[in-house]
Structure 1
Amino acid sequence: MLEKAKEYAVMLCFDVKVDKEAQAYANEVGVKIFTADIIYHLFDDFTKHMTALAEQKKEESKLLAVFPCVLRPVAVFNKKDPIVVGVDVIEGNLRMLTPIAAVKENPITKVKEIINMGRVTSIERDHKQIPMCKKGQPSVAVKIEGPNQPLYGRQLEEKDTLYSLISRASIDTLKEFYRADVDKDEWALLKKLKPLFDIP
């Protein structure tokens, strides 16, 4: 396991003494040793370790996990750096740090362009910060920040529908770490958005 997945390199030692040399070697190469005289304690310690690892991986993958949403702009308050726009959530749930994009099609060539706007850094209703806005709730003001932002009035128009910028990696991350947090409607929306972003 040291070669394949270092975090799973563990030894479960039931009712045995681990001498100092063995412990020192394990520490040196990165093997975690669990010892216990009662088998249930050994199992519990190992389970706690695995849960902590899963939580750590979940935390590390937070920015990769993109929950799906579709937004209808109702007003543009700031055109760029940062973009501040009033939106209605028409599908899914809008969460903090969601990357947002518009999808434009060239009317002549029919070539699709995905315009990355940045990430949501603030969601406000009535001048109060909220962590999430669900489909059908009253409009919110959303601040979107990122490098090389497009400009409303040039690359973007107020009528452009906005989407959470999903990818194969973001869907896989949701499946692996956030399955319990994604509801049935969100899975259905992900399926619907895949062709829009050309995700196989």
Structure 2
Amino acid sequence: MTSPDLDGVLAGSPLYVYEKTKGEDELQHLKSLVEGEIKNAIVNTEATGVILKCDTIGSLEAIIDLLKKEDVPIRTADIGNITRRDIVEAAAVRENDRYHGVVLGFNVKVLDDAEQEAQNRSVKVFNERIIYNLVRAYVDWVTYQKDHEESILFNEIPPVCKFQFMKGFVFRRNDPAVFGAEIQVGKLRQKVHVINVEGKKVGTVHQIQESGKAMEEAATGMQVAVSIKEPTIGRQINEGDVFYTDLNSRQAKQLVERFNHRLNDKEKEVLNFVLSLKRKDDPAFGYL
């Protein structure tokens, strides 16, 4: 004997209708609450920022809070695996801001087509299973990239340097002039232009040698042989003279405004002295 269909038996019962309606209302209420939580957690803007994908609402909210504490802007934050669309969106951000044009994933998969798209578009994807590790990996990467980029730009500027023509060390008088030099402040590098204490151009460093071996640069305290194109010893330069590396206005401005923290106190003094020499002829030097 089969059991009767309970819905069929109680279908006409007022109590059944009330209980069923109450259950549906509660279910609808819970559904609305969940949908509200999802909408509140999901971020979708046109602003420049990272793309974030997580496995749950809880992890999404937690990582959003951590990123905000690190002042990391978010373009989109959603639940689900990392898709090709996420990569394409990050690539669009990367065109204007390579530090934020990335995808962060927590406990999700990178779909095959997304992985291929990331390789093709050179989009960096961070995917971790520990929340702290995800945020830390991204922040550390940004720090390293900025330091690396800054180092490249800084090294393109002639180093701040003060050096002296050592007395008794004349090796060749001209074409090029070769003499012993002591590096008093900063670093001397090949191919940099040199000025004297009056701000007049002396020539260009052709080569630097120590114990007969060529070197690209010499640091503070070193005594090296320096060859400089253009001047003649006894005419334009003499034993005991002090020289400084030359800068153009743009390079000086960068050192003052962007890279001043990379200079030590003595290098800053030398830079200020060179600026004072240059500004005698050009008051706007280092400002433009």
Global fold match (TM > 0.5): yes
Change (3 A) 1:77 1:93: same
Q: Indicate the RMSD between aligned Cα atoms, in angstroms.
A: 3.6
Alignment of 1:84-123 (within 5 A): 84-89=178-183, 92-97=185-190, 99-103=192-196, 113-118=200-205, 121-122=208-209
* Structure of greater Rg: 2
Of 230, 239, 251 in structure 2, the residue corresponding to residue 150 of structure 1 is 230
Give the equivalent residue in structure 2 for 1:31. Answer: 123
How big is the shift at 1:32? 0.8
* TM-fit CA distance, 1:33: 0.8
Q: Distance in 1 between matches of 2:96 and 2:267?
A: 33
The CA deviation at 1:102 is: 2.4
Task: Show the counterpart of 2:265.
Answer: 184
Normalising by structure 2, report the TM-score: 0.50
Structure 2, unaligned runs of 5 or more: 1-92, 280-284
> 1:64 offset after TM fit, Å?
1.9
Structure 1 residue 15: deviation in Å? 2.5
| Percent sequence identity over aligned pairs | 19
How far the C-alpha of 1:58 sits from its partner, in A, is 4.5
Could you tell me how far apart the structure 2 residues matched to 1:67 and 1:104 are? 17
Q: Distance in 1 between matches of 2:251 and 2:170?
A: 31
Change (3 A) 1:62 1:119: farther
Number of the residue aligned with 1:169:
251
Cα separation, 1, equivalents of 2:113 and 2:177: 59
> Partners of 2:224 and 2:150 in 1: how far apart?
28
* Residue 22 of structure 1 pairs with residue 100 of structure 2: no
Displacement of 1:14 after TM fit? 2.0
- Structure whose residues are more often helix by fraction: 2
CA distance in 1, matches of 2:200, 2:270: 20
4+ residue runs of structure 1 moved beyond 6 angstroms? 126-130
In structure 1, the gaps of 5 or more residues are: 106-111
Aligned partner (choices 145, 167, 186) of residue 53 of structure 1? 145
1:86-142 CA distance string (max 9 Å, x none):
23445x23344472412497xxxxxx75243135533x3x778894233xx7xx233
How many residue pairs are counted as aligned between the two chains? Answer: 183
User: C-alpha displacement at 1:152, in angstroms?
Assistant: 1.3
